[in-house]
Amino acid sequence: MKGNKYTFLLLALLFIVQSCEKFLEEDLISDVSSGTYYTTEAGLEDAVDATYAWLKGFYGPERGFTMTTFGTDIYTNGADGGHKRVNFYDGSFDATESYVNQSWRDWYRGINQANGVINRSADVEMDEARKTLRLAEVRWLRAFYYYDLVRTYGDVHLSLEETVGVEVEANKTAAAEIYSQAIVPDLEFAISNLPAEAEDYGRATKAAAEFLLGKVLLRRSYTSYAAGDDASRAETLFGNVINNYGFALLDDFADLWDINNQENSEIVWNLTISKALVDDGTDRDGHRGHLYFLMEYDKQRGMTRDVANGRPWKRFRPTPFLLGLWDRNVDARYDKTYKHVWFANKDVDDARGTRVIGDTALFIPGPGRDIDWPQGAKDAAPYIVYTSDDYSERIFPSMNKWIDVTRPDRQKTQGQRDVVLMRLADAHLLRAEARLQQGDAAGASEDINVVRTRAAVPGQEAAMQITAGDVDLDFLLDERARELVGEHARWWDLTRTGKLVERVRLHNIQAAGNIQDYHNLRPIGQDQIDRTVGGYPQNPGYPQ
């Protein structure tokens, strides 16, 4: 770390405990500034719990979905929403973008919270083994926050010191140093000291630490400052996750999205959300993914908005490229990810005919099946059929992974799903990528085939198998899209592998004419620039 103490945080250190039902409490820890409560065992426990909370402003609400979904090869903009410039990459996408500013702010709040726990823990009298466990959780979280910063903004401010109050000086430390001084050491400490199984569901575990360090090293393996063994170490770490903890792929891909089956054998680590705190308004964010990937079904014939079909905010529309990735004759994942039929939830009697509640009202046959619906057949059907010729910013295939039927009413925007951030299928695909980085296409195909076998239409398992000759980086990215669509992965997948600009230009019409190489990093937010003495350096390419 640099020689003197730097910080940029705009607020005094706050320890706000939010809504991880299994182990986080709802209380505001109000006397932290005095240091008296925080240096007690109970205070330290509460402060550790609160360090998780800063993940929740990004993962679950619109901000995180926008910054990882928009501006990629697989999703473009729908009709509504005020952040389309993140997809367009036009001149308006600059330091004033609120999501850029908010993400920076919250990740550094998480880091400062972690720094406070670490720095003050020396004065806490408690069982040393338990203290070490809690410090391992906090260092895992600090690494998580720094990793999100580096893979989003590149070179950023580095501080391992707690800040209380407003300070207006900041450094811009090379990403290579942040990896070597903060992220990797923190995760190595976490791996050495976290348990294989958490005492409370949702806490960090050794497997989650190995998973995260594997991702860190895999990303670094593509850079000019990579350590020579980054890809090899990443392969080993993902292998540990796959082999050492008893995780198992669910037999049916669709079961992953059953809201009553969230704590399942495939989950390495979820950010937990509490239904009770979502429903009573204590958790103001929750999981909002159920809003953003839905078409405007509620204004169509025979339909009105309801809980079962979701509240359609029409933010993210799949690109034709994405819709063409699945061979539905052998791969079941499209059919288990996207909705095809809407049943009438209101009666209608008009020139087209009568529809009563429960009848088919809307049908989207989806990719590969449009050929069965020429215009004459569509006109003759007693319900509305939308094929690709009809798709628009309002009408498009709707992704159903995050539908939340537990919401108390149709207007409720917060959902209670856990946020899926680490799962076993992803570990296989990441290990495949690490193997490919080392020239081991055969090993990569083995991992990919594990995922594809589970994804197969029954009886088509053999047809889903690939060989080493099929595997290159583009195939792997296609497979990641088929498996992980909508799971906070895509923009980072493309920037990690150096494929963002190429693939956006090929497959995202709205963004193709504007995207440039410098868009592999997001702009530094105007808040940081304005509130730093002398200004804060903007990332190359963006207006200074």
293 Cβ contact partners less than 8 Å away, ≥ 6 residues apart: 315, 316, 398, 399, 401, 402, 486
Its domain, for residue 383, covers 289-390
Show the tokens assigned to 85: 């410039």
So what's the pLDDT on residue 41? 94
d(CA 85, CA 91): 8
Rounded Cα distance, 1 and 460, in Å: 54
Q: Is residue 360 part of a domain?
A: yes
Note the pLDDT of residue 35: 59
Cα–Cα dist 290/412, whole Å? 11
Tokens of 145: 């926050």
* Residue 458, in any domain of the structure: no
Contact of 383 with 65, CB cutoff 8 Å: no
Query: Residues 490, 498: contact at Cβ < 8 Å?
Result: no
CB 31 within 8 A of CB 37: yes
490: part of which helix (H) or strand (E)? Answer: helix 490-497
Categorise residue 471: left if φ over 0, alpha if ψ from -120 to 50, beta otherwise. beta
Q: Residue 350 domain-assigned?
A: yes
- 378 domain residue, yes or no: yes
CB count, 10 Å around CB of 382?
A: 11
Find, among 479, 495, 487, the residue nearest to 422 by Cα.
487
Q: What is the pLDDT of residue 73?
A: 98
Q: Is 28 within 8 Å of 17 (Cβ atoms)?
A: yes
pLDDT of residue 283: 85
Q: Are 488 and 64 in contact (CB under 8 A)?
A: yes
Q: What is the mean pLDDT of each run of 10 residues along the chain (544 residues)?
A: 28 33 38 63 94 95 98 98 97 97 97 95 95 98 98 97 86 98 98 97 98 98 97 98 98 97 97 89 91 98 97 98 98 98 96 95 97 96 97 98 95 95 99 98 98 98 98 98 98 98 98 98 97 96 93
Q: Are 451 and 425 in contact (CB under 8 A)?
A: yes
The answer to whether 364 and 397 have CB atoms below 8 angstroms apart is: yes
Outline where DSSP puts E strands in 393-528.
419-423
Cα 6 to chain centroid distance, Å, stands at 30
Q: Is residue 442 domain-resident?
A: no
Residue 52 lies in a domain: no
pLDDT score of 164: 82
End-to-end CA distance of the chain: 26
Q: Are 481 and 492 in contact (CB under 8 A)?
A: no
Give CA torsion, residues 58, 62, 66, 67, to 10 deg. -10
- 410 φ/ψ angles, rounded to the nearest 5 degrees: -70, -15
Determine, yes or no, domain membership for 17. Answer: no
**Total domain count, the chain:** 1
Q: CA-based angle 137:138:144, to the nearest 5?
A: 95
Sole residue written with tokens 């059907």: 381
pLDDT at residue number 275: 85
Rounded to two decimals, what is the model's pTM?
0.94
Tokens matching residue 521: 């990093």
Q: Are 497 and 478 in contact (CB under 8 A)?
A: no
Q: Which residue has the tokens 């338990």?
A: 130
Residue 232 lies in a domain: no
